[in-house]
């Protein structure tokens, strides 16, 4: 594990970048989409299957793991990689976002956040120092700063106050993280949809110095237009030689727009969560397999997709298992959606490397505009 964390941009096309993050546990090709393995599992998937979809890195969740089975238990069992049987890079979020969504059960102070567990009501304290300790126990390769993300709608004053608290917490996270060769710490830019606040946040984070930088506080209900307007200026405020991570994004068209604007990493529960409700992402947009139009259709979901759901099963079969709430429906649909997302990322990387991103994006939008194949 002597190797250090590094990032190299290999090609550019407009603002978009194609590159590679190097960690002791392997390389992450960027732009990268990270499947979410909330509680040490990507729901309905084996780790080897997640890897087969093309994923280089997974996301684990500090909040959920600290409550159950606990970070101390995972550390005693050899760390998160060994515990969940995934030997490649893992990024853990800091717990800040989940604690935000508990607003009724939490008390926020300068020190950190006191909250009650959503599982059993037990009391916990999460601070920058405790978040760093938990993420060290988990053994993740990329650690996120502990931040506070205000729930929308919020006034500009509330967003400013929250961002400044997050910047003080970023310094405390950096201090508590210490020197851990081979592991990286990412700072998180906040500031809502206000350019001046984003600039102030970027300046504070850059002064502290991080291995990578995330854009937080987006994809929380502000809408795509507002998110893209922030992404039109925010990535350029961050150091050019470090990866940029847009947290919690997103739908396929969000991802394409973010990559066009210089984002290198993303994560979202959407492909797995949608898969479990019978929604499939395809080159022709979203297909709802609960719909009765599929019940006699012998054709594959997407004839160009190499996933098991598309290679081995008909739309009629997928419709049947989705409607029957069979466990295999969640497995096949999640596998398909994760494969679609990884194929999309591979297409974006190849297009940037070839200097042909505009043509790729035009084809992407045209395919979605066509809509699903005609019913039989």
Delimit the domains of the chain by residue range.
6-267, 275-370
> Could you tell me the CA-to-CA distances from 349 to 11, 20, 218, 232 in Å, in that order?
9, 10, 23, 20
Return the ∠ at Cα 80 (arms to 79 and 85), rounded to 5°: 110
What CA–CA distance (Å, rounded) separates 195 from 189?
Answer: 12
93 is catalytic: yes
Q: What is the pLDDT of residue 2?
A: 58
370 is catalytic: no
Q: What is the pLDDT of residue 352?
A: 99
What CA–CA distance (Å, rounded) separates 225 from 195?
Answer: 15
Please say whether the beta carbons of 164 and 198 come within 8 A: no
* 6-267 topology per CATH: TIM Barrel (3.20.20)
Alpha helices for the chain (secondary structure H): 47-52, 62-67, 71-76, 80-84, 96-100, 128-138, 156-177, 195-208, 224-231, 252-260, 270-276, 308-312, 315-323, 327-353, 357-370
What CA–CA distance (Å, rounded) separates 65 from 68?
Answer: 5
* Spatial strand order in the sheet of 265-268: 32-35, 265-268, 244-246, 212-215, 184-189, 142-144, 90-93, 58-61
- Within its chain, how far is the Cα of 75 from the centroid? 24
What are 330's two structure tokens? Answer: 């969640």
What are 245's two structure tokens? Answer: 């991570």
Q: What is the pLDDT of residue 104?
A: 78
> Could you tell me the CA-to-CA distances from 195 to 74, 98, 154, 191, 326 in Å, in that order?
41, 25, 16, 8, 48
Please say whether the beta carbons of 153 and 217 come within 8 A: no
Burial class (CB in 10 A: 0-12, 13-18, 19+), 334: buried
Identified catalytic residue from 267, 302, 343, 372: 267
Return the ∠ at Cα 126 (arms to 123 and 130), rounded to 5°: 125
For the stretch 213-249, pLDDT in tens is 999 999 888 899 999 999 999 999 999 999 999 999 9
What are 79's two structure tokens? Answer: 């760390």
Burial class (CB in 10 A: 0-12, 13-18, 19+), 291: middle
What are 61's two structure tokens? Answer: 């969740």
Burial class (CB in 10 A: 0-12, 13-18, 19+), 366: exposed
Identified catalytic residue from 13, 93, 211, 343: 93
Return the ∠ at Cα 251 (arms to 249 and 255), rounded to 5°: 60
**Per-residue pLDDT of the chain in tens (376 residues, 90 and over written 9):** 457 999 999 999 999 999 999 999 999 999 999 999 999 999 999 999 999 999 999 999 999 999 999 999 999 999 999 999 999 999 999 998 888 888 778 899 999 999 999 999 999 999 999 999 999 999 999 999 999 988 778 999 999 999 999 999 999 999 999 999 999 999 999 999 999 999 999 999 999 999 999 999 998 888 999 999 999 999 999 999 999 999 999 999 999 999 999 999 999 999 999 999 999 999 999 999 999 999 999 999 999 999 999 999 999 999 999 999 999 999 999 999 999 999 999 999 999 999 999 999 999 999 999 999 999 9
Cβ neighbours of 224 (radius 10 Å): 16
Q: What pTM does this model have?
A: 0.97
How many CA atoms lie less than 13 Å away from 303 in the CB half-sphere? 4
């Amino acid at each position: 594990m002597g190797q250090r964390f590094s990032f190299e941009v290999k090609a550019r096309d407009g603002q978009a970048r194609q590159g590679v993050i190097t960690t002791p546990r392997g390389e992450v090709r960027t732009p990268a989409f990270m499947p979410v393995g909330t509680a040490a599992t990507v729901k309905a998937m084996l780790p080897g299957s997640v890897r087969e979809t093309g994923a280089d890195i997974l996301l684990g969740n500090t909040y959920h793991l600290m409550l159950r089975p606990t970070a101390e238990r995972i550390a005693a069992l050899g760390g998160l990689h060994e515990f969940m049987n995934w030997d490649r890079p893992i990024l853990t979020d800091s717990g800040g976002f989940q604690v935000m969504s508990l607003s009724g059960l939490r008390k926020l102070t300068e020190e950190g956040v006191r909250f009650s567990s959503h599982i059993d009501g037990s009391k916990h304290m999460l601070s920058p120092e405790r978040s760093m300790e938990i993420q060290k126990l988990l053994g993740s390769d990329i650690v996120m700063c502990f931040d506070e993300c205000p729930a929308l709608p919020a006034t500009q004053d509330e967003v400013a106050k929250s961002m400044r608290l997050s910047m003080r917490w970023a310094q405390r996270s950096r201090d508590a993280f210490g020197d851990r060769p081979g592991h990286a710490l990412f700072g998180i830019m906040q500031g809502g949809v206000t350019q001046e606040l984003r600039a102030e946040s970027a300046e504070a984070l850059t002064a502290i110095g991080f291995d990578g930088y995330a854009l937080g506080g987006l994809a929380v209900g502000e809408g795509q237009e507002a998110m893209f307007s922030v992404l039109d200026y925010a990535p350029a405020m961050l150091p050019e030689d470090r990866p940029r991570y847009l947290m919690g994004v997103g739908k396929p068209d969000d991802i394409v727009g973010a990559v066009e604007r210089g984002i290198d990493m993303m994560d979202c529960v959407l492909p797995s969560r949608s898969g479990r409700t019978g929604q499939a992402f395809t080159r022709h947009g979203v297909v709802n397999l609960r719909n009765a139009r599929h019940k006699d259709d012998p054709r594959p979901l997407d004839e160009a997709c190499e996933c098991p759901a598309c290679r081995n099963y008909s739309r009629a079969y997928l419709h049947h298992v989705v409607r029957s709430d069979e466990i295999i429906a969640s497995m096949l649909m999640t596998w398909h959606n994760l494969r679609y997302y990884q194929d999309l990322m591979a297409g974006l990387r190849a297009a940037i490397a070839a200097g042909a991103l505009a043509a790729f994006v035009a084809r992407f939008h045209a395919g979605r505009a066509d809509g699903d194949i005609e019913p039989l």
